[in-house]
Amino acid sequence: MRILLIHQNFPGQFKLLGAALAARADCEVVALGAASQIRGRAFAPGLKVLGYAERAPAAEDGRHTHHYLRDHERALRRGQDVARALFGLKREGFTPDVVLAHPGWGESLFVKDVFPQARLINLFEFFYAGEGADAGFDPEFPITDDDRLRLRIKNNTQLQALAFCDQGLSPTQWQRSRYPARFHGLIEVLHEGVDLRRLQPDPHARFQLPGGRVLTRGDRVLTYVGRNLEPYRGFHVLMRALPELLRREPELQVVIAGATGVSYGGPPPKPHATHLDWLLAETGRPDPARVHFTGPLPYGEYVKLLQVSSVHCYLTYPFVLSWSMLEAMACGCAVLGSATAPVQEFIEDGVNGRLFDFFDRGALLENISRLLREDTRALREQARHSVAGRIDFHRHVLPRALQLLGLN
C-alpha cells in the first residue's frame, strides 16, 4: 500500500504512526512537510520525507483582504504549495492509496483534486468558537465582538476539509465535541498515542540542571513544561504563585521547561518581549538556585525531568490537550492539573491525579504542598495505568489506525 502523510511541521502527530508504517514491508510511505520546517531533521528509517516549497507572500498581502479572511488566504497559499508538490509526485509515478493529513494549515485543501481516488483521512484538532472554549475563558484577556465573528470564519479551512475527506480523526472526545454535531459521525476519536515502551517511571533517573546540580527522585521537584511559556498553558498562574510557594516550601526545586515564543493567543503586554519577561517584571526574579528555566529540552532530557518530578503541574485553557500531560502520566508523575475540560477527560481528581480551579491560586498552592507531603504512589500508578488503558500506541492506537488504513 502507498501512504502519503502530510503535516507542515512533519512528523507532528504522525511521529509514532509514520515510523510504524515505514517499518512494514507492505507499505511505501512518503511524507510531505514544509521545507523550512523539516530541513536538517532526522526521520525514522524507511520514511521518504519531502519538503514542499513555500511561496513567499505577495507584497500586497493583507492590504485588500478582509481581516477575517487572512488566515484562510494563508491556508489557500499553502494548499497551492502542497498541490504543486503533489503534482510533482504524480508525474514521478507516486499515486497514494491513502493520504493522512493535518488540514489545519490548508495542506489538504486540494488533495482530492490531484488524487481523486485516494482515501483522504484528516486529523481534526480544534474547531474555533467565540465562546465555550479558549476564547474569552481568561478574563485577563477578554475578546471583542469582532473577535467572535472572526473566529467563526477562521474555521473556513476546516469546513472545506470536513466536506471533502473520507474519514476524520480527533485526538479526544472533547476536541471532537467542539465540531458541529452534524460532523460527529464522520470523526472518530483516536489519539495519536503515547509510547509506553519509552515513557515509563525510573526511580534511578537523574536530571542535570543548567548550573550543574543533579536532581533525583530523592529531591522535592516541581516540574512545569510547555512548548512556549504563555497564558494559554497557565504560565502566568504558576509564576504569580511562585513567591508564596518558595516561601512555603524551602526545600523545593522548580524546573520550568519551554521556549519563550507564542504558540497560542496574543503577544505579551508592551513593552515586554516575552511572557516570561512580563511575569518576571511583575513578580520579581526568583532565586536562581531554586527556580530553573531550562528552555526547550532534548526529548531524552525531557523524559528524565518527568521521571524525577515530585509534582508535575499542568494548566491549560479549554483547548488542545498537550502531549506533555499524557507523557507525564505515562512516566508515573503525580500530576496536578487545571480542572478544565480537556484535562478532566483524562484525570479524575484523587484517583489518577489532582485537579484545581485554573484561577484559584490558593488551591494551586495547597495542592502542591499536599502532594509533596503525602504518599502519591497510588496516584502515580493509576496515572500510568489510565494512559496505558486508553492511548498506549502499540496496544490500542496502532491496531485501530491499521484498520482505518485497510492494513489489518
Q: What is the pLDDT of residues 27-41, one digit of tens each?
A: 999 999 999 999 989
| 126 Cβ contact list (under 8 Å, min separation 6) | 104, 133, 175, 178, 319, 320
Residue 61 has pLDDT above 90, yes or no: no
pLDDT at 56 over 80: no
The answer, yes or no, to whether residue 59 has pLDDT greater than 80, is no
Supply the CATH number for residue 348's domain.
3.40.50.2000
| Mean per-residue pLDDT, 218-239 | 97
Residue 63: pLDDT band (50, 70, 90) is low
Position 321 confidence tier, pLDDT thresholds 50, 70, 90? very high
Look at residues 128, 105, 122, 135 and name the one whose alpha carbon lies nearest to residue 178.
Answer: 128
Residues spanned by the domain of 149: 2-193+392-405
317 with 349, same domain? Answer: yes
The pLDDT confidence band at residue 62, using thresholds 50, 70 and 90, is: low
- pLDDT at position 58 is 55
pLDDT of residue 27: 96
Quick check: is 24 in a domain? yes
Enumerate residues 6+ apart whose C-beta is below 8 A from 244: 361, 365
Cα separation, 276 vs 270, in Å, equals: 13
| Beta carbons of 308 and 221 less than 8 angstroms apart | yes
Distance of CA 231 to the CA centre of its chain: 15
Tell whether 189 and 236 lie within a shared domain.
no
Residue that has been written with the C-alpha cell 489519539 in this structure = 191
Mean pLDDT value across residues 268-296: 95
**Per-residue pLDDT for 268 more than 60?**
yes
Residues 145 and 222 reside in one and the same domain? no
Q: Are residues 255 and 383 in the same domain?
A: yes
Query: What are the tens digits of pLDDT across the range 101-114?
Result: 999 999 999 999 99
Q: Which of 210-214, 274-278, 320-324, 334-338 has the lowest mean pLDDT?
A: 210-214
Shared domain check, 247 and 157: no
Question: Do 251 and 315 reside in the same domain of the chain?
Answer: yes
Q: What is the pLDDT of residue 60?
A: 52
State yes or no: pLDDT of 374 exceeds 80: yes
Rounded mean pLDDT of the chain? 95
Residue 57: per-residue pLDDT: 65
Judged against a pLDDT cut of 90, whether residue 224 lies above it is answered with: yes
pLDDT over threshold 80, residue 219: yes
**pLDDT (average), residues 78-88:** 96
Summarize the confidence of residues 139-159 as an average pLDDT.
95
Q: Is 85 a domain residue?
A: yes
Share of the chain above pLDDT 90, in %: 95
User: Residue 246: is its pLDDT beyond 90?
Assistant: yes
The helix or strand, by DSSP H or E, that contains position 294, with its residue range, turns out to be strand 291-295
- Asked if residue 221 and residue 160 are part of one domain, the reply reads no
**In the prediction, which pLDDT does 408 show?**
74
Q: Are residues 127 and 41 in the same domain?
A: yes
Taking residues 315-338, report their average pLDDT: 98
Kindly state whether residues 141 and 278 are assigned to the same domain.
no
Range from 59-63, 132-136, 251-255, 326-330 carrying the lowest mean pLDDT: 59-63
Q: How many CB atoms lie within 10 A of CB 228?
A: 19
Apex 355 CA angle, 349 and 356, nearest 5: 140
State how many domains the chain has.
Answer: 2
Same domain, 354 and 384: yes
Q: What pLDDT, on a 0 to 100 scale, did the predictor assign at position 160? A: 96
Q: In the chain, what percentage of residues exceed pLDDT 70?
A: 98
